Amino acid sequence: MDNSIFTGNRYETWKFEILSLINGELVHNGYITKYVEDANISIDFTRDIIGVARFKIDDSVNLNYLSDRIKIYYVLSGYEFPLGVYMLLSPLQHFKIASVDRNIQAYDQLKALEDDKLTTSLTYDAGVVIVDKIKDILDNVGSWVRYNIEPSTATLQMPVSYIMGRSKLFVINSLLNMINYYPLWVSGNGVFRAIPWSATKNITWGFKEDNLNLYEPDVLRNIDYSKAYNRVVIIANQFVADTEPLYKVWTMEDEGIESHPFSYTNIGRYVTEVFYSEAASQEYVDLRAKREIRKMLEINESLDYPHAFVTSRENDGLPYQGDHYLFKNTELNIYETYKIIRQDWSLNVGQSVYSKIRRVTNP
């Protein structure tokens, strides 16, 4: 893909595709672009169900609100970037003088996993491969499910149980957390994804001050140390009989970031956060400690700003878990790496994407 398509004059459009459930599969059932009067989407990685959409659609469109999906595309210079597959809920009929439309609330397909609850208690024995069990759960949701879970040979160190009534999304994210994966999300093409957490930041775009003008000057910077900590304690398997608990204590100094304003080196005291967790092994407890210290760096500073649509992926317009931007602003004295936390789109030509990003580390 030629990234210059994002930096010049734009001819942009949107497409809205209907996917219908036929013989257990989601298949193309036409486009309704000309009937969509308004739409917006919100992607927020702090939510269990990450993607939310709203549509205002002419009432003449024949939709099965129980099983149809709407797939959104951003179209630019011959490229079509998918922006998610959304389940339809709560259609509100709106009567006007000459027409009738519907305001529709929609969610990404994580909603199917949140709605699907365990009907009996569930126990996994020690030694099972965790990723295999996650795939089993997804396979049992429905034949329409597509997933791409990055492989791992990590196994459970001891049995783990989930009570009846827990959602399958809760179980999957709990298992992913044991092996230091990001929570499950859904790609722009409607594929369930999971990848390991990494200390190496995946920078997908650099917003810099130049003549490209990809972001607007309306930047809100927020700095907040109210939830900051500089030492973590990870405790796993504390209540398992005849088993020594796994634990790890890790500080900013251990991580090599003693220059941070909130480090023990700079404030002269520890502020400790304790995490109780299931874990596959001591190796994963150690990595979890590093991850939680690094996550603290995301707490204290965030930016909110509008910018043009950009992506580094030819076949996907949505951000992934762990994606970052490099951001430079001379007036705010900023040249930092930020993690993408939230993005909001108004799906109208000429509208900006509004992003919330949190500072992670210097570039």
Domain termination residue (choose one: 273, 296, 319): 296
Averaged confidence pLDDT in the chain: 88
pLDDT over 90 for what percent of the chain?
56
Mark whether 103 and 43 lie in a shared domain. Answer: yes
pLDDT value at residue 241: 58
Check whether 363 has a pLDDT greater than 50.
no
Counted domains in the chain: 4
pLDDT value at residue 331: 80
CA distance 206 to 209: 10
Mark whether 78 and 163 lie in a shared domain. Answer: no
Mark whether 161 and 265 lie in a shared domain. Answer: no
Kindly state the tokens that stand for 269.
Answer: 């005291």
Mark whether 92 and 16 lie in a shared domain. Answer: yes
Mark whether 101 and 158 lie in a shared domain. Answer: no
Kindly state the tokens that stand for 225.
Answer: 């140390």
* Higher pLDDT pick, 296 / 195: 195
- Closest-CA residue to 149 (of 159, 162, 139): 139
Mark whether 92 and 181 lie in a shared domain. Answer: no
For the segment 219-254, what is each residue's pLDDT rounded down to a tens digit?
888 877 777 899 999 887 654 556 677 889 999 999
Query: Which domain CATH number covers 146?
Result: 3.55.50.10
* 37, amino acid identity: E
- Residue pointed to by tokens 């509208």: 351
Mark whether 215 and 326 lie in a shared domain. Answer: yes
Mark whether 290 and 318 lie in a shared domain. Answer: no
Check whether 351 has a pLDDT greater than 80.
yes
**DSSP label at residue 114:** H
Domain termination residue (choose one: 245, 277, 296): 296
CA distance 297 to 334: 15
CA distance 356 to 45: 10
pLDDT value at residue 240: 55
Check whether 94 has a pLDDT greater than 60.
no
Q: Which domain holds residue 158?
A: 114-194
For the segment 197-218, what is each residue's pLDDT rounded down to a tens digit?
988 889 999 888 755 667 877 7
Query: Which domain CATH number covers 40?
Result: 2.40.10
Q: Are 209 and 196 in contact (CB under 8 A)?
A: no
Mark whether 219 and 349 lie in a shared domain. Answer: yes
Q: Are 245 and 233 in contact (CB under 8 A)?
A: no
Q: Which pTM was predicted?
A: 0.85
Mark whether 212 and 350 lie in a shared domain. Answer: yes
Mark whether 67 and 156 lie in a shared domain. Answer: no
CA distance 323 to 281: 27
CA distance 163 to 304: 39
Long-range contact set of residues 127-136: C-beta below 8 Å, sequence gap at least 24: 127/155, 127/156, 128/155, 128/156, 129/153, 129/154, 129/155, 130/154, 130/155, 130/156, 130/175, 130/178, 130/179, 130/280, 131/179, 133/175, 134/172, 134/175, 134/176, 134/194
For the segment 116-137, what is each residue's pLDDT rounded down to a tens digit?
999 999 999 989 999 999 999 9
Mark whether 332 and 216 lie in a shared domain. Answer: yes
Domain termination residue (choose one: 296, 316, 349): 296
pLDDT value at residue 129: 96
